[in-house]
Structure 1
Amino acid sequence: MIYKNLRIVSHSDEFIGWIELDKNGIIVNLCRGNTESSGIDCKNHVLLPAFIDSHTHGGYGFSFDDFSDSCWEQNFLDYKEKLHKFEGVAAIFGTTITQQWEKIKVNSEFFLFLLNKYPNFLLNWYLEGPFISEEKKGAHNQGLIIKPKREHFKFLAEKFNKKITVVVAPEKTSAKLIDSFYKTINFAIGHSNSFDFKRNHNLKKYYKFTHFFNGCSNFDHRKQSLVNLIFESKLPKNFLVELITDSLHIKNSTLKFTIKNIKKENWVAVSDSLAQKGLDNGFYKLGELKIEKKGDLFYLKNSKQIAGSGMSYLKILKNLKLNLKLSWQEIVFCSSYNVANSLGILDFFGSIKIGQKANFVILDDKFELKMSIIFGQIYREFAK
């Protein structure tokens, strides 16, 4: 099938052209200009690599924190299909909140199963707790927060044949532990009240910064908070700063300032969406905590403490494009390329090239999803 009259955008190029897929969904032609061959007229809409949401707790009723339902794998597959069809998301990092260590060990079996069976969708297990700061715990259960020990990281490093992502508060974590395990675990800075990171720690030993601004030491004109650290440092190659770009976790004027002051290769848009994304407003549970969904946000019950997002990944990118006026190429960097590049998977994600199983979305200028094709399979037919 040929799709023509497209604005085709990658991280490094943008042109008017056409793309042809064979019956197996493999890209066999990718050309500039027009073609006289028959095909679908895409009316100058925009083709981008399909998205990667590298921080999500689930959605549409599926939670990465709870595998107790006997139909949990089918629920996972339903969730996967909805992300492909309604949000243009090709792949994710499945994120869990702070839990008892024994439950984490039990859940590791489920993640091991999913990572092996669905490696092109679930790219990583992302432990957002329990190795965090009580001062910056956010919506995590304080009673379950623990200080990391060698036995914890040893278990996680040996359990998986790939580097999973583990959030730590550096001020609560021995730098020697990080030095011992950073080659087998991707460490993320998060839920931390650190004001002296560089005294013992090195950014080169870390992979990510978890939802920047949210749950971290704020700007300080005398001490080096974590906000100071990010703005004042030359960030390592492939170090990724997460921004929840829903305009609610971070107001748009602050987002604009931040994006201006962090290289486009060093930040990613994440949803931090919870399991009840896509469901009705009301009361739900986040682990052992009671939460309330109000529109696109979740709060701890009877509190103003934000617990997570209910906004789709498509919608948080829409905010970047329509309200912050990012270019289409900048959208590619923050929505797929940077994560794919950091994991060494650009042959599958974050790029558009001949010989590749098609992994792209087509959008109009209002950022409405017109088509979604993930690994050669059409999940949303082109909407004329």
Structure 2
Amino acid sequence: MQIKNGNLYTQGCFFEPHDLIVSGDRITRIAPSGFDSNEEEVLDAAGCYVLPGFVDVHIHGADGADFCDDTSDHISTISNYLGKKGVTSFLGTTMAFSEEILNHIIDDALPHFNQEEGGAVLRGINMEGPFFAKSKKGAQAERYIIDPDFEMFERLMERSKNNIRLCDIAPELPGAVEFISRAAKQCAVSIAHTTATYEETKEGFAAGANHVTHLFNAMPPFAHRDPGVVGAALEDADYVELISDGIHIHPAMVRTVFQIFGADRVCLISDAMRATGKPNGEYTLGGQKVSMTDGKATLADGTIAGSATDLVECFRRAVHFGVPIEMAAKAATINPAKSVGLEKEIGSCSEGKRADLLILAQDLSVKAVLIGGKRIV
């Protein structure tokens, strides 16, 4: 297949007129625009943006399904929904649960890791919980929240066949620093759901954490005399997650994060839950009842419970808020891929990488999606 006449998001993170040649599941050539490849199948992307498929490293569910469900088709439901939207890779994200429940979640996921099933590819697990501060639990169920237990983590990692790619932790908890130093040798470690001070967060980064989960949410505020987690992240974090749905973070702060952290460190995430793509109504997250009204999902006490916005829509909103499209694209593609060690296969349009591609019209609506070289939209 030749994808021609489009504005390709290049490795230099600019949109430039180039054609792509796709053979099998790989990008085999990047050619000058108008190149005659003699390919029988041609996709005309005139006037469109051609990007790598988006990578969501923090998503709980969509289209009525949750990654933690115990059903026969919940992962396929999420995968199919995301693929049609333009997300081509994702990490299934857990909640604070007991080890027994997490075992079941992992067992259900094992047959799906890195398998092409017609939608977004499940690339691993984001283990969000249960090692959190109870006072910053957000929508996590308090009854499951415990202090860091590395032996538990190690058993779960082994059970997952090393498919936990991101583990979240509050660094101020007893044993957290030692946990981070050991876990960071096996996966990325993220600061999350925390009351940590600036100094405690710096300790976590020094021990090996390199990531911050949904910046500003479920952590102390960023203050001029008490910089907290955000201040420490500015100095030490390789990556920070940002939910740009317009509900979790004010649009001005979305712009500010890109300005102060720069283009290379921000990862747009959806934090989407099962209400995404569904009508207003009652849903669940982590075993708790959630009400979703016009895109805002909350617990009974008003606590925000994930989002009801997919990653491509979060990208659109970031651009609408004033983030340059090149920066927003980087935060939805190569940055999240790098943050969890997937950049050799996905996250950029370069020869030899997987042909996971998203083609957007000028208004950023989806024109086409390819996963493993196969057009699904």
**TM-score, normalising length: structure 1:** 0.89
Q: In 2, are the aligned partners of 1:186 and 1:206 still within 8 Å (CA)? A: yes
Q: In 1, are the aligned partners of 2:192 and 2:218 still within 8 Å (CA)? A: yes
The 2-side partners of 1:140 and 1:351 are apart by 33
2:132 partner amino acid = I
**Structure 1 residues 220, 373: closer, same or farther in 2, change over 3 A?**
same
Residues 357-366 or 246-255, more deviating = 357-366
Report what 1:206 is aligned to.
209
Report what 1:179 is aligned to.
181
Out of 199, 221, 226, the residue aligned to residue 223 of structure 1 is: 226
**Structure 1 residues 104, 220: closer, same or farther in 2, change over 3 A?**
same
Give the superposition deviation at 1:199. Answer: 6.5
| Matching of residue 374 in structure 1 with residue 376 in structure 2 | no
Listed one character per residue, the Cα deviations across residues 224-269 of structure 1 (whole Å, up to 9, x for unaligned) are 41122123x143xxx2200001111001001111110002211100
Q: How does 1:11-160 map to 2 (within 5 A)?
A: 11-12=11-12, 13-22=14-23, 24-35=24-35, 39-67=42-70, 69=71, 72=72, 74-85=73-84, 87-115=85-113, 117=115, 121-159=121-159, 160=161
The 2-side partners of 1:347 and 1:178 are apart by 25
> What is the SS of the residue equivalent to 2:140?
coil
1:194 partner amino acid = A
| Matching of residue 322 in structure 1 with residue 324 in structure 2 | no
Listed one character per residue, the Cα deviations across residues 162-221 of structure 1 (whole Å, up to 9, x for unaligned) are 443221111114212222332024321100011131574334611321100000011233
**Structure 1 residues 204, 47: closer, same or farther in 2, change over 3 A?**
farther
Residues 151-160 or 196-205, more deviating = 196-205
Listed one character per residue, the Cα deviations across residues 65-118 of structure 1 (whole Å, up to 9, x for unaligned) are 211x3xx2x342232122111x11111011111112321233232233332656
1:191 partner amino acid = H
**TM-score, normalising length: structure 2:** 0.90
| Matching of residue 334 in structure 1 with residue 331 in structure 2 | yes
**Structure 1 residues 43, 136: closer, same or farther in 2, change over 3 A?**
same
Coordinate RMSD, CA, aligned: 2.2
> What is the SS of the residue equivalent to 2:5?
strand
> What is the SS of the residue equivalent to 2:181?
helix
Aligned length: 368
Q: In 2, are the aligned partners of 1:11 and 1:333 still within 8 Å (CA)? A: no
| Matching of residue 308 in structure 1 with residue 306 in structure 2 | yes
Report what 1:189 is aligned to.
191
> What is the SS of the residue equivalent to 2:368?
strand
Q: In 1, are the aligned partners of 2:187 and 2:340 still within 8 Å (CA)? A: no
> What is the SS of the residue equivalent to 1:307?
coil
Report what 2:347 is aligned to.
350
Q: In 1, are the aligned partners of 2:5 and 2:18 still within 8 Å (CA)? A: yes
Listed one character per residue, the Cα deviations across residues 278-332 of structure 1 (whole Å, up to 9, x for unaligned) are 111111222321110111121102x32111111121111001223314133x233
Q: In 2, are the aligned partners of 1:10 and 1:49 still within 8 Å (CA)? A: no
Residues 288-297 or 353-362, more deviating = 353-362
The 1-side partners of 2:290 and 2:90 are apart by 23
**Structure 1 residues 379, 50: closer, same or farther in 2, change over 3 A?**
same
The 1-side partners of 2:311 and 2:227 are apart by 32
**Structure 1 residues 154, 20: closer, same or farther in 2, change over 3 A?**
closer
Q: In 2, are the aligned partners of 1:10 and 1:332 still within 8 Å (CA)? A: no
> What is the SS of the residue equivalent to 1:280?
coil
Structure 2: give runs of 5+ residues left out of the alignment.
none
Give the superposition deviation at 1:56. Answer: 0.3
Structure 1: give runs of 5+ residues left out of the alignment.
none
> What is the SS of the residue equivalent to 2:315?
helix
